[in-house]
Amino acid sequence: MDVSKIPSALLVPRPIGVDTGTTAPLGAPGDLAPSFADALKDAVQDTNTKVQAADRAVESAMVGDGSLPKAMIAMQDAQVAMEMVVAVRNKALEAYQEIMRMPV
């Protein structure tokens, strides 16, 4: 996953419940920044692409068309991307479980 693709609007902390008037909230009409769901969807698609590329690189290395170092690099890249997606999923699940444990 290429973290440089994360829009700066998602990285800027904003106070909760305070309208600064300088930027539109994320998800508002005319907002150019993608939502968290879109960013997560892109990350999963990017990870899937890397896994498929790693599979092709391994197949090429096995039949003698590709090089082993390129296959290893592709596999490591796919593994790091997968670990990142799993870590985000685990954090989201932990947050959901913490919210569900809150008293009403």
One-character DSSP codes across 48-79: HHHHHHHHHHHHHHHHTSS-HHHHHHHHHHHH
- Amino acid type, 23: T
How much is the pLDDT for 35?
84
2 within a domain of the structure (yes/no)? no
58 within a domain of the structure (yes/no)? yes
79 within a domain of the structure (yes/no)? yes
104 within a domain of the structure (yes/no)? yes
Q: What percent of the chain has pLDDT over 70?
A: 73
91 alpha-carbon distance from chain centroid: 12
21 within a domain of the structure (yes/no)? no
- Per the structure, the count of domains in the chain is 1
16 within a domain of the structure (yes/no)? no
> What's the pLDDT tens digit per position in 10-25?
666 666 655 555 555 5
Model-wide pTM > 0.75: no
8 within a domain of the structure (yes/no)? no
31 alpha-carbon distance from chain centroid: 20
87 within a domain of the structure (yes/no)? yes
> Which domain, by its residues, includes 61?
35-104
> Which residues of the chain carry a pLDDT beneath 70?
1-3, 9-32
Task: Burial-class residue 78 by CB neighbours within 10 Å (0-12, 13-18, 19+).
Answer: buried
